[in-house]
Chains A and B, each alone.
Chain A
Amino acid sequence: MEHYTMNLTLKVWRQANKNVVGRFETYSVTDISSEMSFLEMFDVLNERLIQEGKEPIAFDHDCREGICGMCSMYIDGRPHGPWHGTTTCQLHMRAFKDGDTITVEPWRANAFPVLKDLIVDRTAFDRIIQSGGYVSVNTGVSVDGNAIPIEKEKADKAFAAAACIGCGACVAACKNSSALLFVSAKVSHLSLLPQGGPERKTRALAMVAQMDKEGFGSCTNTGACEAVCPKEISITNIARLNSEYLKAGLSADLSPTS
């Protein structure tokens, strides 16, 4: 792999806290190596801002290996930037060329208020899980792990849905700020497995109700969520959720509150 260095112009959203109005600021960075990750390029810029006595840019990040779901930059109009199936932290600078201008914003959604600069509040996702995104078993079950065989195909599908990292890119990409890909991934993961069976109806109803309550918008099937998901969660999960939701709703003895 040939490496190169580049000079770039960055337009970055700055906002001191959630109560003030934000704005774009322009920065130039020089001698950026194509081997750097996108966040390492931000590290370089922040170090310089500190040296200049300015405030560094606040952004969420932690594992820097694409799995914790914390990083969340909206890069050139696309959550997590130009690479398919990739989180911001795994995006590397060889995706860009010398002289590029890159625009970086936080996730934009009413349900994800900006806390500072590029950091948003995603606790709405935790509350959606609280509404039913689990199997109600206490610690200490004594059923052997191999007591219930699970078709490999179903187990694999459940795994594919469970690969969601809860980053919120789906919401950021959606023109309606819908969280349906996130919700459907969890509903699919658990409804595909026998262990999730007993609660599948209440779960689907309760999680959708909580999603609405948090202020996420409706799904209009444009598929932007799937296109930007760093874990390539499929929108067939949304179809599955719709089916689960309909079936649950048609059961006369069930409503989200009963």
Chain B
Amino acid sequence: MLDSKIPAGKLEEKWVDYKGHCKLVNPANKRKLEVIVVGTGLAGASAAASLGELGYQVKAFCFQDSPRRAHSIAAQGGINAAKNYQNDGDSVFRLFYDTIKGGDYRAREANVHRLAEVSVNIIDQCVAQGVPFAREYGGLLNNRSFGGTQVKRTFYAAGQTGQQLLIGAYQALERQVAIGNVKMYSRHEMLEIVKIDGKARGIIARNLVTGELERYFGHAVLLCTGGYGNVFYLSTNAMGSNVTAAWKAHRQGAYFSNPCFTQIHPTCIPVTGDHQSKLTLMSESLRNDGRIWVPKQKDDPRKANDIPEDERDYYLERRYPAFGNLVPRDVASRAAKERCDAGYGVGTTKQAVYLDFRFNLINKYGRTEANKLGIENPDEATLVRLGKEVVKEEYGNLFDMYEKITGENPYEVPMRIYPAVHYTMGGLWVDYELMTNVKGLYALGEANFSDHGANRLGASALMQGLADGYFVIPYTIGNYLADEIATKAIPTTHEAFEASEKEVAGRLERLMSIKGKQSVESFHKRLGKIMWEKCGMARNAKGLTEAIAEIQQLKKEFWSDVRIPGTINEMNPELDKAGRVADFIELGELMCLDALERNESCGGHFREESQTPDGEAERKDDEFMYVAAWEFKGESNWQLHKEELKYEVIKPSQRNYK
């Protein structure tokens, strides 16, 4: 039976009550307790730093050459917080409500309310660390708007918010490394969880420079290893982002929740050809000022700027007048797909729509600047020149990136964009304390499933990663470790470590001994194609059933024909990648199974069988108001457990952004 351990009491008092009553560990005992943190993105770096500050002995691991490289760094647009600095009606309740609604009523109320509560502390913490957020001329913090909300609550640092927040957490982490409370292991990859008497007690990691396997003990293990979007091969994730740590935990008994809940982001640079290795996001913040449109006429041969205003279909503004271009990501992505499928797409592939800044560049920014300068009746060229300066300050790095990739100047012509895989709401099942169903094993940030339901709102991933690491785990881990103060550090010569290392070594040897014909990359591409076509933006029972069979076949082929050059005991990026792709293949099967089982549409999960007459996602609350938690039972064999979702404060309704 799954126990989510949600505290009793009123929603807005649960977290306060929890903090007032959870067990504490005294400072002398903290020094005897060791905690392993895998991954150093926003969740991992903030957790490792905060636990180090408290006095725990922390070991932190990342596969990159430095903890500062984790993919949180690439987050662009911003971080939400219910500060209500804009006096526009924001509150903790409203952030909570928007997040639950945005997630299409598939997240836990208690977790999300806690997230909204601590959001305000995150901003204070980051400012104190020296994170250079955007400011207004009066010296106070600035905000922008994001999708799925009607207030301005997003804090930002140009188009590099993730970078600035991660550097803040990284600096806090390095400060603890200097003091000696955190020991950092970069270029290390976790390849197994070590369990002793049912509790997580350590990991086996591979030193990616020497290839050696190493054993590490911890009284508790935190997985802060991000999402699994790279199962689709093409995504906005970094090349190294992977599911391996979470998947090893899953195979060791941790339940995997809602794996089919994946986020397809509406505004990414379209695919150009088979050589493509990754996709690049254009921040949701651009939808503040960019208007999305396609020509009203199919296969319109004219250039974008030559198509007159009344021959453009601003389809989001047409379909969703209340939220317009700021509808949530799942809604915007499906709307783009609908237009392209209907034959109105633009560009050479016809798989793209326009994101156009000219209107706001001229009318919003250009005019404001002209007014400030006292220029009466400015001509269009003046407005464009003045507006450009402001747009450059807000989004300059994004516009530059677009130009580098496409060779087109987005100040002059509209961007071409198309949806791409971006984020995964699913992840390891955790309770209110962020512990998986394996004792002493935690999952934080994107690696867990808990806060975003079936669709995450923009600027909420950074919020969740930092909430989990700075403000949740420091309390909840104490509640567990308080009962572990008598447990002495277990030597890594223990038979459980011995057995786990042997298991990992055997798997690596098996991979190397295949000596087949096909590269790791080619398998990854084939998996991605299956997933995108059959478990992507639209899914149906037939396609999912086919996908499962195809993935099982691909798995067989992989384990009999993959070619990995080099050897085990050296730096070998192809071997690293092979292990990750092998895990993605297994995960892909589970995602399709989960998508097949959930015969409803909700958030990013769109089952063609379940839609309203006007093509919107149709939930089936009477059948599917639960969290799917999958237990690994053996190869291609899972058992489904259900955690019922109870809404005590919000009444679920069909989402409406019209």
Contact = CB atoms under 8 A, between A and B. Distances in A.
A196 to B, nearest CB: 5
B571 A67 contact: no
A134 to B, nearest CB: 4
A110 interface: no
A1 B406 contact: yes
B401 A65 contact: yes
A55 B565 contact: yes
A141 B124 CA distance: 7
A137 B129 contact: yes
A160 to B, nearest CB: 9
Interface string A34-61: 0111011001100101110111101011
Contacts of A54: 565
B372 interface: no
Given A60-B65, A152-B137, A159-B158, A115 B53 contact: no
A43 B521 contact: yes
Contact of A146 (B121, B140, B272): B140
Interface in A217-248: none
A33 B66 contact: no
Interface in A73-92: 83, 85-86, 90-92
Nearest to A95: B404
B485 to A, nearest CB: 22
A96 B147 CA distance: 40
Given A66-B401, A123-B186, A189 B175 contact: no
A106 interface: no
Interface stretch (A6-14, A161-169, A172-180, A249-257): A161-169
Given A50-B563, A62-B240, A145-B124, A69 B137 contact: no
A235 to B, nearest CB: 19
B133 to A, nearest CB: 8
A127 to B, nearest CB: 9
Given A92-B407, A123-B186, A145-B127, A36 B275 contact: yes
Interface in A117-173: 119, 121-123, 125-126, 129-131, 133-146, 148-152, 155-156, 158-159, 162-163, 165-166
Interface stretch (B160-168, B300-308, B579-587, B597-605): B160-168
A145 B177 CA distance: 26
Contacts of B74: 63, 65, 67-68
Contacts of A83: 404
Interface in B169-210: 170-172, 174-175, 177-178, 184, 186, 209
A1 to B, nearest CB: 4
A47 B519 contact: yes
A44 B306 CA distance: 38
Contact of B273 (A1, A35, A116, A129): A35
A67 B491 CA distance: 40
Contacts of B133: 145, 155
A17 interface: yes
| Residue of A65, A69, A129, A137 with most partner-chain B CB within 10 A | A65
A83 B400 CA distance: 12
Contact of A136 (B132, B175, B280, B404): B175
Contacts of A137: 125, 128-129, 172
Interface in B215-269: 236, 238-240
A95 B124 CA distance: 44
Nearest to B564: A50
A152 B66 contact: no
A174 B139 CA distance: 37
Contacts of A145: 83, 123-124, 126-127, 133, 141
Given A138-B53, A141-B125, A67 B163 contact: yes
A193 interface: yes
B56 interface: no
A196 B209 CA distance: 36
Contacts of B138: 149
A6 B186 CA distance: 38
B139 A152 contact: yes
A195 B405 contact: no
Contact of B132 (A43, A130, A159): A159
Contacts of B172: 134, 137, 139
A104 interface: no
Interface residues of B, number: 84
A139 B127 contact: no
A59 B278 CA distance: 16
Interface in B427-480: 470-471, 474
B415 interface: no
Contacts of B570: 16-17, 116
A69 to B, nearest CB: 6
B132 A193 contact: yes
B321 to A, nearest CB: 34
A40 B271 CA distance: 13
A139 B521 contact: no
A111 interface: no
A134 B174 contact: yes
A58 B69 CA distance: 18
Contact of B238 (A63, A140, A159): A63
Contacts of A156: 135
A134 B71 contact: no
Contacts of A62: 64, 69, 71, 238-240
Contact of A139 (B125, B239, B563, B573): B125
Interface string B393-421: 00000001100111110000000000000
B182 to A, nearest CB: 10
A53 B519 CA distance: 10
B129 A134 contact: yes
A37 B277 CA distance: 9
B85 interface: yes
| Residue of B69, B124, B400, B571 with most partner-chain A CB within 10 A | B69
B310 interface: no
B459 to A, nearest CB: 16
Contacts of B157: 159, 162
Contacts of B273: 33, 35-36
A200 B167 CA distance: 18
B343 interface: no
B125 A140 contact: yes
Contact of B171 (A17, A92, A122, A129): A129
B491 to A, nearest CB: 28
Contacts of B85: 146
B566 interface: yes
B361 interface: no
B574 interface: yes
A70 interface: yes
A150 B139 contact: yes
Nearest to A131: B178
A219 B567 CA distance: 41
B159 to A, nearest CB: 9
Contacts of B73: 63, 67-69, 165
Contacts of B236: 65
B403 to A, nearest CB: 10
A121 B135 contact: no
Interface string B53-74: 1000000000011111111011
Q: Which 10 A/B pairs are nearest by Cβ-Cβ distance? A: A149-B139, A134-B171, A1-B407, A159-B132, A130-B178, A145-B127, A139-B50, A62-B238, A145-B123, A158-B132
14 contacts: A40-B275, A55-B565, A58-B571, A62-B238, A63-B74, A65-B278, A68-B70, A130-B178, A131-B178, A134-B130, A140-B470, A163-B163, A165-B163, A195-B130
Interface of A: 1, 16-17, 33, 35-37, 39-40, 43-44, 47, 49-51, 53-56, 58, 60-70, 83, 85-86, 90-92, 94, 115-116, 119, 121-123, 125-126, 129-131, 133-146, 148-152, 155-156, 158-159, 162-163, 165-166, 189-190, 193, 195-196
Given A36-B273, A90-B404, 13 more contacts: A60-B65, A61-B239, A62-B71, A65-B281, A68-B70, A90-B405, A135-B171, A137-B129, A138-B50, A151-B139, A152-B137, A195-B128, A196-B130
